[in-house]
Structure 1
């Protein structure tokens, strides 16, 4: 990731100093990938700092946590007032809050920058979400917006807000990514087990979906995965992969923060729990042998019509996921005193990142038309989209329930929608119960 960002910056006309604690890696990089480019090597932290012009702009790409603090501590003796430290790792936003304040006391400007797009994005244009000490922005804006991905000619990078706002928005991005991936998996499961479709046919469905409202990076790679066969025997490779998903914890951070702020970000929460459920594989095997499901043979009278319903269910559920994500961002801005730019956030996610999609252009338009939009669902475009998708959405979820196919994210999205549009919920009884036993 670090090497690719360096190469990206050099390609855009910037001179970059590269440093790694393993000096041989620096020398090897200079002799190979960086050869002939405006890239200078440094063999120590002091050497790195001495080779940079003032104000120094130093971007760290190290493992989140204590390693970031350790590196900052090692840098400080060689820095001058006004220098800038940028943390481009996956740091938790409270750490960035703390570092912004701590370094400001030492007259060092700190930026916590969310970076999305993986190694390829880093090389050819990532989505960049910087926040922290805004005094640093004029000194890094040109660099960041030059190397960032572009969408309709606009850089997928803008100043997010104070303190840990950049890493907070990246955290929500990752949570939405969890939700998008789980929704796609549920659609795959319904087509595979409910409709009995082959992987190739499912791939064709994703190919079609990728030309419409669901056009996105994740739909595109899912199409490719469905179409890929193991060269060894010609069978679908995806079916040989263990159904136990890993996670790095960023989706969990989003769910925990939603609970802390009292926001019903249900879809991201369910996507995290779906991964947790997948990980108890041996227990699920035992449960499959002991527990019964519905005695119903999955069938539909018109397969294409049902696939169209499934497309609408996926689209509507994505709208709910993003609406919940922006609800969380809105509440965080209130709680932490941040001034966040919702249109810019949507724009930053339009290109270079894992959740990039044409769908985000509509979100950008909604927030540009009304930067104070209370909820994405109140925008006329999305209100109409949900209205039109609702019949197919309900049919698809109902069929999955009837067939006993788990749809935690489809179901919670629909349940949230019905709860959100309900003027009077049964919480009056809940409050009476609480009063009765004396809380």
Structure 2
């Protein structure tokens, strides 16, 4: 293999450094650059045997000159204006055939804009979503690629090589043009928010409702990870519940402030869902829960004014099997909503997203990887355009586990234990199986105050009520 780098990477933070080592370990020489030279030096000196595959550069000009044309340059810098600034700095240094690849957590609308702007540049631009955290970036992430066929032809081999593998299948694929890759990554992160929130809600029920200590919580998650819920997030939930704080000696969970952080991708998912008029209430509830978690002072005041909650559950009201079944149902409903959002975006933007492939590349490397995605990939291939709730085995699983979800939500509500994501999933499910809802009242109200009209059940052409316009 040619030992001169055709590829470079800018941004040697946690993710960038891990990805650069992954590329080098897979046999691809790579030039690396960070705006702080000391960071580049430290990275290279700590690369061990892989240092031979690295070409460090102290300036941007030196970095570009070190890459043999046609150059492929990966940006691993903070999303937003920093990416635009980096592109602007590279613009006078690049030529025909060069390619800039934004592998950060970009908003897909920015990727769409940058793709359009690159049509006036000598170089090309593409955006890819990379999931899996530091471990994934280092040893194999799930990679969602946005670009055209020629760009995939150029980069596909290396992206497949550095990606995670599921039974030898690469977890990397072309999603569609422009911002498609970053859109799919955004929805992945929205599902991630919801998956984490539902797990946290079952933890709250065990801790506050059932009086479980951290060891009992850990044992429960470990048991769940051996069954239908087998997944990365359930696995690590057992591990964090099992961990001990090295400072106090207490269970690690018991010393962590209940204030959840977020970087915005879940919020973007909710905003885009509203723009697309698609219902993703489980993800919306998860984002709201993170927002509420930050309101510590107000939550304390609420406890003082209205009385502290929650209350312990009466003995025997819930058990871990019921919680497991509730989480199975909630997970199916959450993923169904996520895939419906992807399908709506695919149609709206003309992307032709490969739905079964998306489920396949999420089977390893990414944060939401789980065994359930195998069946989801099959269901999406067999029932194109159909919601996952109407495809086997998920229809049967919902029939088997719906009662447990309902029992869990009722018990939590009675005890004052907040389960917003599980409750939102149940409400969505009930709406999806209601042949006649209550929106006729809303339409009547809209016609009453705004003369907006409505459709009739009998199909007659009488689109207004007898009340006239009284608004």
- Is 1:431 the counterpart of 2:443 in the alignment? yes
2:124 aligns to what?
Answer: 109
TM-score normalised by structure 1 residue count: 0.96
1:237 aligns to what?
Answer: 252
Q: CA deviation at 1:44?
A: 2.3
The DSSP-based 3-state class of the residue aligned with 2:56 is strand
2:407 aligns to what?
Answer: 395
2:348 aligns to what?
Answer: 335
The match for 1:57 among 69, 72, 77 is 72
Higher Rg: 2
Q: CA deviation at 1:292?
A: 4.5
Q: Describe the shift of the 1:424–1:121 C-alpha distance in structure 2 as closer, same or farther (beyond 3 A).
A: same
In structure 2, what is the Cα distance between the partners aligned to 1:336 and 1:289?
Answer: 50
Q: CA deviation at 1:107?
A: 4.4
- Is 1:356 the counterpart of 2:369 in the alignment? yes
The match for 1:384 among 354, 374, 396 is 396
- Is 1:27 the counterpart of 2:50 in the alignment? no
Q: CA deviation at 1:32?
A: 2.7
Deviations 1:261-305 (A, max 9, x none): 1111101100011111111111111111221589975213376xx
Q: CA deviation at 1:49?
A: 2.1
Q: Describe the shift of the 1:296–1:344 C-alpha distance in structure 2 as closer, same or farther (beyond 3 A).
A: closer
The DSSP-based 3-state class of the residue aligned with 1:437 is helix
Q: CA deviation at 1:403?
A: 1.4
In structure 2, what is the Cα distance between the partners aligned to 1:322 and 1:149?
Answer: 21
Q: Describe the shift of the 1:227–1:261 C-alpha distance in structure 2 as closer, same or farther (beyond 3 A).
A: same
The DSSP-based 3-state class of the residue aligned with 1:159 is strand
In structure 2, what is the Cα distance between the partners aligned to 1:294 and 1:160?
Answer: 46
Unaligned runs of 5+ in 2: 1-14, 453-471
Q: Bigger relative contact order, structure 1 or 2, given CA contacts below 8 A and separation 6+?
A: 1
1:248 aligns to what?
Answer: 263
- Is 1:99 the counterpart of 2:111 in the alignment? no
Deviations 1:30-51 (A, max 9, x none): 2331554311122222222222
In structure 2, what is the Cα distance between the partners aligned to 1:317 and 1:121?
Answer: 26
The correspondence of residues 230-309 of structure 1 with structure 2, limited to 5 A, is 230-292=245-307, 298-301=313-316, 306-309=319-322
The match for 1:3 among 12, 17, 42 is 17
The DSSP-based 3-state class of the residue aligned with 1:37 is helix
Q: CA deviation at 1:118?
A: 1.2
The match for 2:102 among 78, 87, 90 is 87
Q: Describe the shift of the 1:80–1:403 C-alpha distance in structure 2 as closer, same or farther (beyond 3 A).
A: same
Q: CA deviation at 1:55?
A: 2.1
Q: CA deviation at 1:250?
A: 0.9
- Contact 1:109/1:133, CA 8 A, preserved across alignment: no
Deviations 1:394-439 (A, max 9, x none): 1111111121211101100000001011111110110000110115
In structure 2, what is the Cα distance between the partners aligned to 1:400 and 1:29?
Answer: 49
Q: Describe the shift of the 1:250–1:88 C-alpha distance in structure 2 as closer, same or farther (beyond 3 A).
A: same
- Contact 2:215/2:242, CA 8 A, preserved across alignment: yes
Q: CA deviation at 1:348?
A: 1.6
In structure 2, what is the Cα distance between the partners aligned to 1:402 and 1:215?
Answer: 29
TM-score normalised by structure 2 residue count: 0.89
Number of residue-to-residue matches in the alignment: 436
2:455 aligns to what?
Answer: none
Q: Describe the shift of the 1:134–1:101 C-alpha distance in structure 2 as closer, same or farther (beyond 3 A).
A: farther
2:28 aligns to what?
Answer: 14
- Is 1:171 the counterpart of 2:186 in the alignment? yes
1:181 aligns to what?
Answer: 196
Q: CA deviation at 1:82?
A: 2.3
In structure 1, what is the Cα distance between the partners aligned to 2:443 and 2:366?
Answer: 43
In structure 2, what is the Cα distance between the partners aligned to 1:336 and 1:407?
Answer: 34
Larger mean Cα displacement after TM superposition, 233-242 or 195-204: 233-242
2:7 aligns to what?
Answer: none
Q: Describe the shift of the 1:392–1:436 C-alpha distance in structure 2 as closer, same or farther (beyond 3 A).
A: same
The DSSP-based 3-state class of the residue aligned with 1:245 is coil
In structure 1, what is the Cα distance between the partners aligned to 2:308 and 2:83?
Answer: 49
Larger mean Cα displacement after TM superposition, 51-60 or 31-40: 31-40
- Contact 2:128/2:144, CA 8 A, preserved across alignment: yes
In structure 1, what is the Cα distance between the partners aligned to 2:48 and 2:274?
Answer: 46
Deviations 1:63-85 (A, max 9, x none): 10111111111112122222211
